[in-house]
Amino acid sequence: MSLSLILGTLSILTAIGFYMGRSRALVSADGDSHRLHSRPHYYGYYVAIWCGLPSIMFFGLWLAFEPNIVTSLLIDSLPAAQQQLGDAELGLLLNDIRNLARGDVTSREAGPELMAAAGYYNSLLQTSKLVLAAIAATLAVAGITFARTRIVPEMRARNFVEKVTMAALVVCSTIAILTTIGIVISLLFESIRFFQKVSPIDFLFGLEWSPQTALRKDQVGATGLFGAVPLLAGTMFISLIAMCVAAPVGLLAAIYMSEYASPRVRAWVKPALEILAGIPTVVYGFFAALTVAPFLRGTGADLGVDISSESALAAGAVMGIMIIPFVSSLSDDVIRAVPQSLREGSYGLGATQSETIKQVIIPAALPGIVGSLLLAVSRAIGETMIVVMAAGLAAKLTINPFEAVTTVTVQIVTLLVGDQEFDSAKTLAAFALGLMLFCVTLVLNVIALTVVNKYREQYD
Amino acid sequence: MTSETLPDSGTIRDRNSDKSALVKAGLKRRYAAERRFRAYGVAGILFGLGCILLLFYTIGSNAIPAFTQTMLRLDITLDPQDIDPDAISTANYRKIVRQPVRALFPEVTSRRDKRALAAMLSPGAAYAVRQMVIDDPSLIGKRISILVPLSDDIDQLNKGAIKASSDETERRVSNKQIAWFERLQDFGLVETVFNTTLFTAGDSREPELAGIWGAVVGSFFTMIVTLALAFPIGVASAVYLEEFAPKNKWTQVIEVNINNLAAVPSIVFGLLGLAVYINFFGLPRSAPLVGGMVLALMTLPTIIIAGRAALKAVPPSIRDAARGLGASPLQVTTHHVLPLAMPGILTGTIIGMAQALGETAPLLMIGMVAFIVDIPGGVTDPATVMPVQIYLWSDAPERAFVERTSAAIAVLLGFLILMNTLAVFLRKKFERKW
Amino acid sequence: MQAANTVLIEEAEPATHTNAPPKVSARDVCVYYGDKQALFDVDLDIHAHQVTALIGPSGCGKSTFLRCLNRMNDTIDICRVEGRIVIDDEDIYARHVDVVHLRARVGMVFQKPNPFPKSIYDNVAYGPRIHGLASGKDELDDIVETSLRRAGLWDEVKDRAAEPGTGLSGGQQQRLCIARAIAVQPEVILMDEPCSALDPIATARIEELIDELREQFTIVIVTHSMQQAARVSQKTAFFHLGVLVEEGDTEQIFTTPKDDRTQAYITGRIG
């Protein structure tokens, strides 16, 4: 029985509930809808809610927990020897059973035991679906029956429907909070497991990053080195290069747009520059790797400078282009918020436009501009695809923009893409890096937003 | 004090003309500074616009060759000896497509040369013939004429990306292959056709067989999931926060939280998806369902912020009027405020969806980078999406993938431009000043 | 009562100046905002070392006219000025006239105090610095001190000249703006309702200051308060609906207006 079939049945039942509720209400009022407390369709919604809400919620919860329950049942059914396997090997075994059950290729010989397990797995899934369908349908029908008996003309159906809707609105508005909590908890949880394997001191202050855990226990450097300093330094370095491009270009563009450009020019240029913010970062990454890096390398070769094809300069410069609109749009808003009276005061003294801008407008807008720059830095730090495609993998402490450096985000991607073993320090390290990234950008954002808001209030 | 500091009127006049001279003396320098400053501003804008143009030019010029494909016209005799009518799909089609090519070059006898000659054909040639025979088994025993793809290297040679004049050791096509190819051209067997494979096929290791359709479908399913989750939840949140929420500490926390969520790096959302959806709830990896759920969380703040702005723009007088007629608060919102705010909300949603469509990093975390040949048929099938496909192809060493990457980018940008134009259109059409 | 005193002193004075050529003379001045005409053929002479008050109901064009005198209207894109305005025999709308130079000669004080977000010292020093009026730090210090003294602000701020100008009280801020304007040593100072944002005590202080400054500068003040015009000015011009209705000695305008509209305005029937 497919899931969409179950869901479809539930939806149809809910719709039936709606019509039954409405006609029931009309019948109970002898066809005179004015005798009803609420308009008839509210009684329809009333029944529909009783029918759909419990059953669909049950459906969702069942689906959310089904895989875990089925897996644990499957493990229980396995021979004791296999149950004793380590997490990683057990995971592989389970994967094979699942693949076999689906009829895909497996990594090992499909022995009779494995076949039996796959059969058992399939039957578990089958049973699960059947039970789900049975319970959900029962809930739906029970809901309709119950709600129908409650309908009398005096019943405040509208108030009930509105209360439920309001509750749904509240639940929706907490999803944003739940997301944040989810991020913090999942990052913290995995990071704590990482810090049980690697000391936080080594992580935060270690100067060496080489997470390649050895395949065999007896190899040299089996544990890997997890010093995050080179990654942080690399991230900051690339962000700095990006800001060296974005800050002057973005600010000058913002100043020109807000102070010099005619409304018509502004109406074209501002959205045009914002195109830069709408281009997917993977496109910038491709652009950096395909065009900018070879160009820089070629130029370097002509000048006798050795520029790595994954140089920090290429990644940083392209990232800078990407964040130009973040600087220019926000700074433009901020500059336009400077009261006209200050401009007039300056012109009234005989200042030229550029003198007014440099000596009055910019100082007045400075807090807001700093805020917009901080937001841009936070963007640059969290940016992933450009550096994944254009920056290097080797963690190196350097301030030479022609060399390759790596960043926090690049390492997260390298650690997590491809085959991963859970519980290895290597995988968990990605979460520790993620936590660090989250904290840094959060602090930057909070500071920036506070500064900008304070600034806005000042001139309101 | 006054008598000392205030000069008499005679000196005022002198000082005034003095001052006038001083001011005039500085004017030239000051106007030069003014012009310089203006020029910096123009330069800043031109730099930004120049970057856009360069970017689009690079992508465009690289993408154009990808839209054509070099094909070879082959006349093949489908000998019943080669194809067992009872096991059509397992016959050796590679041999079948190689025979007519070898027949064209009888002088090629050495084993190595024969292999090099066969390598000029794409593996897709055999697939094409096989598909044709499976579709119509009555062809067996007949002679057919079919267009089959040449290998990506020959394709690049034909398009001029590999130059015959370059040193043989530096290119992937040997001098002999070039000579054979020129012979084939002389025979009139080489045709350059529109590259339909690019738009109909899934991924492939062979550039000439790789297409973006799988990724487009994957993106489509992902976006459906994202929209189905983010739009209702986002609108509901915006409505609650703007229309009903009491103004207290709790709503303030939600507000600050939403603003910060909008600035959390996207890769962190990927980590969340990996830890919660995949490891905790055990949802399938690489599935559009999970990708869509992750992107929904990312898009949510955008929709909520845009939604609140749109709701705020509806004047209170509308609410008062509806309330005055005895509408309940929820009726006021659903009957009057929400419909009026809908264009603004939709604009915000489209922009959010456009961002989600271009997002790559979080999807790498949840395993959407797998190499997937099949076109996904539902939200739980393994799939990839367009930006991830671009990332995967950009990593491939073959020259032919560069143009295909660019073509994929061009298609992606096309979708994004379409969505943003729609958003701008909506905003312009329904923009209302109260 | 201080103000009444001032008026008494001034009553005798206007006659001494009226025969000299006017400092500023406007002829046939029309101003348009886009398609809308805001001023209609204004003719007005403004004499040196007098305070000329421009009065009238709001929207009558008095501020528009004031802003023509140092070409502040240039900063508004859709604004167009026709006619002749001559300061010391020079048409300020002539091609060769430089706005920057003009504004250094014709300073302006605005309705709302608008100190720059800089220190008190830097606020006053701003004009001299951009125009290069001081050849050294000492001279600049001198100019700042003199200007602040003339604006009657020196004693209140001399110990905290490095603090931001925005931290002062409203009245102090407005005097700082006056000090800032006179630091450039303009010939004419335009004041656009300089007291409208201030309390009565601060207003009295500024009015006193205006009277003192008349010694050295030509002052044009726009005011919505007839009492203020009566207290501080020697000449008054009454604007109504973009037309200069009547001008003359302040006393005459307020006691024996020739035009009915002026009569109606000063008795409070229009406005």
Structure tokens at A164: 């439920």
Residue ranges of domains in chain A: 3-155, 225-458
**Short-list A364, A382, A285, A276, CA closest to A326:** A276
Pairwise CA distance, residues C51 & C95, whole Å: 29
Mean pLDDT of C22-43: 92
Q: What 8-state DSSP symbol labels residue C267? A: T
Mean pLDDT of B102-114: 88
Q: In what order do the strands lie in the sheet with C235-240?
A: C90-91, C79-87, C24-33, C36-46, C243-249, C235-240, C51-55, C218-222, C188-192, C106-109
pLDDT, residue B224, reads 95
pLDDT, residue B162, reads 85
Structure tokens at B167: 């040193």
Q: A223 versus C4: which is more confidently predicted?
A: A223
Pairwise CA distance, residues C160 & C148, whole Å: 12
Mutation for C interface: B23, B30, B31, most C CBs within 10 A: B23
Pairwise CA distance, residues B99 & A16, whole Å: 66
Asked if residue B433 has pLDDT above 70, the reply is no
What domains are there in chain C, each with its CATH number?
Answer: 2-266 (3.40.50.300)
The pTM is what? 0.86
Pairwise CA distance, residues B333 & B102, whole Å: 76
Chain B residue numbers touching C212 (CB-CB < 8 A): 2
- Confidence label for C5 from pLDDT (cuts 50, 70 and 90): very low
Q: Does C130 touch chain B (CB under 8 A)?
A: yes
Q: Does B28 touch chain C (CB under 8 A)?
A: no
Chain C residue numbers touching B27 (CB-CB < 8 A): 98, 100-101
H-assigned helices in A401-424: 408-416
CB A328 within 8 A of CB A251: yes
pLDDT, residue B427, reads 84
Q: Does A412 touch chain B (CB under 8 A)?
A: yes
Write out chain B in H/E/C secondary structure: CHHHHCCCHHHHHHHHHHHHHHHHHHHHHHHHHHHHHHHHHHHHHHHHHHHHHHHHHHHHHHHHHHHEEEEEEEEEECCCCCCCCCCHHHCCHHHHHHHHHHHHCCCCCCHHHHHHHHCCECHHHHHHHHHHHHHCHHHCCCEEEEEEEECHHHHHHHHCCCCCCCCHHHCCCCHHHHHHHHHHHHHCCEEEEECCHHHHCCCCCCHHHCCCHHHHHHHHHHHHHHHHHHHHHHHHHHHHHHHHCCCCHHHHHHHHHHHHHCCCCHHHHHHHHHHHHHHHCCCCCCCHHHHHHHHHHHHHHHHHHHHHHHHHHCCHHHHHHHHHCCCCHHHHHHHHHHHHHHHHHHHHHHHHHHHHHHCCHHHHHCCCCCCCCCCCCCCCCCCCCHHHHHHHHHHCCCHHHHHHHHHHHHHHHHHHHHHHHHHHHHHHHHCCCC
Which residues, in sequence order, are CB contacts of C62 under 8 Å at separation 6+? C54, C55, C56, C222, C237, C239
Q: Does A286 touch chain B (CB under 8 A)?
A: yes
Q: Does C212 touch chain B (CB under 8 A)?
A: yes
Amino acid, single-letter form, for residue B366:
I
Q: Is the Cβ pair C177, A345 closer than 8 Å?
A: yes
Q: Give the residues of chain A that fall short of pLDDT 70.
A: 1, 86-88, 103-110, 212-223, 418-423, 460
What would the pLDDT profile of C227-271 be if each residue is shown by its tens digit?
899 999 999 999 999 999 999 999 999 999 999 999 999 888 776
CB B98 within 8 A of CB B121: yes
Q: Which of C112, C117, C130 sits opposite A355 (nearest CB)?
A: C130
A399: left (phi over 0), alpha (psi -120 to 50) or beta: alpha
CATH topology of domain A225-458: MetI-like fold (1.10.3720)
Which residues, in sequence order, are CB contacts of A156 under 8 Å at separation 6+? A37, A38
Closest residue in chain C to residue B33, using alpha carbons only: C130
Taking the C-alpha atoms of C125, C130, C134 and C136 in order, what is their torsion angle to the nearest 10 degrees?
90
Closest residue in chain C to residue B11, using alpha carbons only: C216
Structure tokens at A357: 């801008």
Asked if residue B257 has pLDDT above 60, the reply is yes
Q: A168 versus B83: which is more confidently predicted?
A: A168
3-state secondary structure of A140: helix
pLDDT, residue C16, reads 46
Closest residue in chain A to residue B263, using alpha carbons only: A445
Mean pLDDT of C147-166: 90
pLDDT, residue A218, reads 52
Mean pLDDT of B87-97: 84
Report the complex ipTM.
Answer: 0.90
Q: Is the Cβ pair B30, C130 closer than 8 Å?
A: yes
Q: Which of B261, B282, B405 sits opposite A286 (nearest CB)?
A: B405
What would the pLDDT profile of B272-303 be if each residue is shown by its tens digit?
999 999 888 878 888 999 999 999 999 999 99
pLDDT, residue A423, reads 63
Q: Does B17 touch chain C (CB under 8 A)?
A: no
Chain B residue numbers touching A388 (CB-CB < 8 A): 361, 391
**CA distances (Å), origin B144, targets A256, B74, B75, B130, C94:** 67, 8, 6, 12, 88
CA distance C98 to chain B (A): 9
Residue B164 half-sphere exposure, CB side, CA atoms within 13 Å?
13
CB A382 within 8 A of CB B268: yes
CB B152 within 8 A of CB B208: yes
Lowest mean pLDDT among A84-98, B245-259, C148-162: A84-98
CB A256 within 8 A of CB B38: yes
What would the pLDDT profile of B321-343 be if each residue is shown by its tens digit?
998 888 888 889 999 999 999 99
Structure tokens at B413: 């940008």
Pairing type for strands C106-109 and C36-46 reads: unpaired
Buried b / exposed e across C119-128, counting CB within 10 Å, b at 16+?
bbbbbbbbbb
Amino acid, single-letter form, for residue A252:
L
Residue C16 half-sphere exposure, CB side, CA atoms within 13 Å?
8
pLDDT, residue B392, reads 92
Pairwise CA distance, residues B416 & A280, whole Å: 9
pLDDT, residue C9, reads 40
**Short-list A266, A341, A263, B433, CA closest to C78:** A263
Structure tokens at C236: 């008054």
Asked if residue B143 has pLDDT above 70, the reply is yes
Tell me phi and psi for residue B378, to 5 degrees.
-165, 180
Residue C93 half-sphere exposure, CB side, CA atoms within 13 Å?
20
Interface of A with C in 349-368 (CB under 8 A): 349-352, 355, 359-360, 363-364
Give rounded-to-5 percent helix, strand, coil for chain A.
Answer: 80, 0, 20
